[in-house]
Amino acid sequence: MKTMKGPGLFLAQFAGDAAPFNSWGSITRWAAECGYAGVQVPSWDARLFDLDLAASSMDYCDELKGVALENGVEITELSTHLQGQLVAVHPAYDVAFDGFAAPSVHNNPAARQEWAVDQVRKALTASRNLGLTAMASFSGALAWPFLYPWPQRPAGLVELAFDELARRWRPILDHAEECGVDICYEIHPGEDLHDGVTYEMFLERVGNHARANMLYDPSHYVLQALDYLENIDIYAERIRMFHVKDAELNPTGRQGVYGGFQPWLKRAGRFRSVGDGHVDWSGVFSRLTAAGFDGWAVVEWECCIKHPEDGAREGAQIVRDHIIRVTESAFDDFAGGASDDATNRRLLGL
């Protein structure tokens, strides 16, 4: 067992046009003041990070790390959630997802996909330049509109979708191997990789690629009524990143998991600030620690009620309270006796 690192903070929900959230220097100082030791960086946000420079300039990467360390935090990982989403987009979402891409590729799905792949590859190179070993992403989705099996799905439809998804990601995963960086897919509704079964379907098609790993976020499992603690036991070897995000599911006689097209505040399942939802954080940290996870515990704030800055400060303390400093000895060592083959044979009457 190893002691995980933290607390870290995912900056995507905090970056903005007003200080202290509008520059790398000021937002890292703010994060440290909130009690964080690390920050996870949204690679698409030019207010904080220049992806092209990070992929091409070691001097820029050294400067970026230096500013962060001077302010009291280190970079935990890069995120390519938005770009990864665009690696595979069903036409039903073309308009909605165009906003994730550069304006030059809007209304051009083929160009948008090419742009997205290039972005993810650059982020992998940048991760290597920054000395990082994991990167967060989404898988994108081709089959998601067919999630509910009505009307009946034609035979082979889902299989073809996952074959194509794997075909698009395999070269990117090979580049990840060259960079020494794990791609950690956040298992997330809206993605074709939205639970354990779909992750396994993808993993099989990419040949159990060593770099096709998981970002564990129990909030998305709470909203699916999935056993998020057993999930750790099943996928421990593939969990390489961890988002500390809370959620609650309160089904009623009027709505359940699907939420009735309601806004977040009125849904049966909704995201909450860390500590305000249904996630058993003692159980999560215990299972991950016992499984040998030694990465970063990164708070991702998403809540339809609480102010983000309050959620950030509370989340940092909750993570600190739950990180387990692992023991280097067994609690019953004091009662141990001699251990050798002869003694063991005597104890067994042999």
Q: What is the largest CA-CA distance in the chain?
A: 80
**Rounded distance between C-alpha atoms, residue 81 and residue 42, angstroms:** 8
CA distances from 127 to 105, 165, 186, 196 (A): 25, 23, 17, 26
How would DSSP label each residue in 179-196?
HT-EEEEE--TTSS--SH
> What is the amino acid identity at position 125?
T
Which pLDDT score is estimated for 286? 98
> What is the amino acid identity at position 324?
I
Cα dihedral 198/199/200/201 (nearest 10): 50
- Peptide bond connecting 151 to the previous residue in cis, omega within 30 degrees of 0: yes
Which pLDDT score is estimated for 61? 98
Cα dihedral 52/194/295/177 (nearest 10): -50
Which pLDDT score is estimated for 335? 65
**Rounded distance between C-alpha atoms, residue 127 and residue 324, angstroms:** 27
User: What b/e readout covers 100-125, taking b as 16+ CB neighbours within 10 angstroms?
Assistant: bbeeebeeebeebbebbbebbbbbbb
Q: What are phi and psi of 25, to 5 degrees?
A: -65, -45
Which pLDDT score is estimated for 330? 74
pTM, to two decimals: 0.96
**Beta strands per DSSP E along 285-331:** 296-299
Which pLDDT score is estimated for 343? 86
Which pLDDT score is estimated for 339? 78
Residue 323, token pair as written in the block:
């990180």
Angle at 103 between CA 99 and CA 108, to 5 degrees: 85
Domains of the chain: 5-347 (3.20.20.150)
Residue 246 three-state SS: strand
With beta carbons less than 8 A apart as the criterion, state whether 172 and 209 touch.
no
With beta carbons less than 8 A apart as the criterion, state whether 236 and 294 touch.
no
Please give the chain's pLDDT, 350 residues, in tens. 899 999 999 999 999 999 999 999 999 999 999 999 999 999 999 999 999 999 999 999 999 999 999 999 999 999 999 999 999 999 999 999 999 999 999 999 999 999 999 999 999 999 999 999 999 999 999 999 999 999 999 999 999 999 999 999 999 999 999 999 999 999 999 999 999 999 999 999 999 999 999 999 999 999 999 999 999 999 999 999 999 999 999 999 999 999 999 999 999 999 999 999 999 999 999 999 999 999 999 999 999 999 999 999 999 999 999 999 997 777 666 667 777 898 888 889 99
> What is the amino acid identity at position 115?
W
Which pLDDT score is estimated for 334? 65
